[in-house]
Amino acid sequence: MRRKILETYWGYPGASTRQKLFQQWVLFPLRWRYRNSIHFVEKGRLLDIGCGNGTELYKLKKMGWETYGVEVNEKASERARSEGLSVFTGDLFKTNFPDHYFDVVRMSFVLEHLTNPRQTLVEIKRILRPQGRIYISIHNARSLNYWLFGKWWFSLDVPRHLFSFSIGTIKRLTSSLELKVKAVRFDSGTRTFLASLQYWVNDRHEKRILTQGKQSIYGSHLLRYLFRPLCWFVDRIRLGDLIHLEIIKT
């Protein structure tokens, strides 16, 4: 299903023109589920920074991309290479990719872990072709969840997260590098809300029963369904926990 939707709306190869017209009508209600997908580039090169064990990179390779990955975790990068993926173990600055080499660079919840986010974006700009795109996912420090929970906000994740970003800070950062934010999407779901609520309850009662027992807030399927409309509304008013950005090198 994912492949059919990407063929229809994001330019991935496979479907004929007639099939795409039919699929546009049939698959339109499901399009929103993949709204953060990467637009396809014929014979395009894609770099995934912080690719882990290469799960997403493997899917993108199967869909027609020439893929490359960078991963600091040695075991994860070895696992990715065992699947036939080209993955460098270490940080981006040691890869020595040529100038203007990639059509797309992807970073999914990586930027907040880096000691040098601005220098990383400078290096990405160097290796990215003109009009190339950067797809970044980050946590939103101006979210409703942060306002509600403060130090119990699940996505704060100190000390693993070295930086916190908002729409304002990420736009100032990218504009200073002459990178243009083309699209911003919020996509929170119930996970971070319920995890933050779990942290607050555990700290308030100084117990771990709610985390370990069957009545866990975070693990409750009922609460996930009940709070789903709220999370959908919060995303619509641009206060969601997760931000997905599409950025263009101008």
Question: Can you give the residue ranges of every domain in the chain?
Answer: 1-35
pLDDT for 185-237, tens place per residue?
998 889 899 999 988 888 877 655 444 543 488 888 899 999 999 999 999 99
Predicted pLDDT at 207: 54
Predicted pLDDT at 158: 86
| Residue 104 parent element (H or E) | strand 102-108
User: What's the first-to-final CA gap in the chain, in angstroms?
Assistant: 34
- Contact 162/133 with Cβ under 8 angstroms? no
Distance CA 107, CA 100 (A): 18
Indicate yes or no: pTM above 0.75: yes
Predicted pLDDT at 214: 39
pLDDT for 149-188, tens place per residue?
999 999 999 889 999 999 999 999 999 999 999 999 998 8
Distance CA 171, CA 239 (A): 16
pLDDT for 13-64, tens place per residue?
876 767 767 777 777 777 778 888 899 999 999 999 999 999 999 999 999 9
